[in-house]
Amino acid sequence: MNLRWLSLSVAALAVGLCCGGCRDAPGRPGAAVTRPDKVTDFRLLYRQNCAACHGVRGDYGDAISLNNPVYLAIAGTVNIQKITANGVPGTLMPAFAKSQGGMLTDQQVAILAQGVESAWGRSNALGGQTAPPYAGSTAGDPSAGQKAYGTFCASCHGVEGQGVVNAKLHTGSIVDPSYLALISDQGLRSLILAGQPQEGMPDWRSDLQGTGARSMTDQEVTDIVAWLASHRVAAPGQFYSHP
């Protein structure tokens, strides 16, 4: 009887330890876990879905800076919401909406778009000026674009877009086919319009403001994009052959 009682006691203790361990096991969901499709906190949604490419604070990421009031003013919440939902085909920007194969609900996509605007937008970002539209409405002329590029861009990016390296300036090639394969025409247009303030790149008003120079026109921006896009190739990258 004593042996049986001892065996039962040991078994009961083992079950108790096992159950207690399960309750406290690392990674075990608690009672208050929120389903992924019910998350409505902008900061959490941004950190989980956007920060890896656009930067934790909206800048210094591999993708366009969202912490740029000029970009947000030109693009607008509607376009940002559409891009977030549908992605950008042919680039690394995926579609996040469930209707497009993503993981986010329409509500979560809207929260992200509105949250970005609320966090980093500024009502006076354009300084009272009217910017060219976010998307171009006419076809670009590469020849005219090369001339416009020479006026507005060559001083920083090189006469042929191959980059500039000197004591004060270091820019990479913006006509590298590998780079152009990763960015859409709209992506190029957005960078020209909004600039990259964290990198010292001015917006469409250019760093010539105050010297009698004028801002870029809509057609000039469109033409510059066409000239840059003309450098794309069908199969970018370095080809290697086996000996």
Domain ranges of the chain: 38-120, 142-229
pLDDT of residue 65: 94
Query: What is the number of alpha carbons within 13 Å of residue 170 lying toward its C-beta?
Result: 1
> Taking Cα atoms as reference points, which of 141, 152, 151, 136 lies closest to residue 195?
152
Write out pLDDT tens, residues 96-109.
Answer: 999 999 999 999 99
pLDDT band at 141 (very low <50, low <70, confident <90, very high): very high
Helices 42-49, 106-120: axis angle to 10 degrees equals 100
pTM for this prediction: 0.81
Whether 44 has a pLDDT exceeding 80, the answer reads yes
Instruction: Quote the pLDDT of residue 171.
Output: 85
- pLDDT tier at 199, thresholds 50, 70, 90: confident
Query: What are the pLDDT digits (tens) for 167-187?
Result: 677 788 999 999 999 999 999
Q: Which of 15-19, 115-119, 181-185, 194-198 has the lowest mean pLDDT?
A: 15-19
Arithmetic mean of pLDDT, 17-22: 52
Among the listed residues 231, 240, 222, 239, the one whose alpha carbon sits nearest the alpha carbon of residue 181: 231
Does the fold of domain 142-229 match that of domain 38-120? yes
Answer for the pair 195, 110: CB distance below 8 angstroms, yes or no: no
pLDDT of residue 34: 86
Q: Does domain 142-229 have CATH number 1.10.540.10?
A: no
Lowest-confidence pick of 23-32, 84-93, 151-160, 191-200: 23-32
| Full DSSP string of 116-160 | HHHHH--TTTTTTPPPPPSS--S---HHHHHHHHHHHTHHHH-TT
Using DSSP, state whether 196 is helix, strand or coil: strand
Q: What is the distance, to the nearest Å, from the Cα of residue 5 to the centroid of all Cα atoms in its chain?
A: 67
Statement: residue 66 has pLDDT above 60: yes
Is the domain spanning 38-120 CATH 3.10.580.20? The answer is no
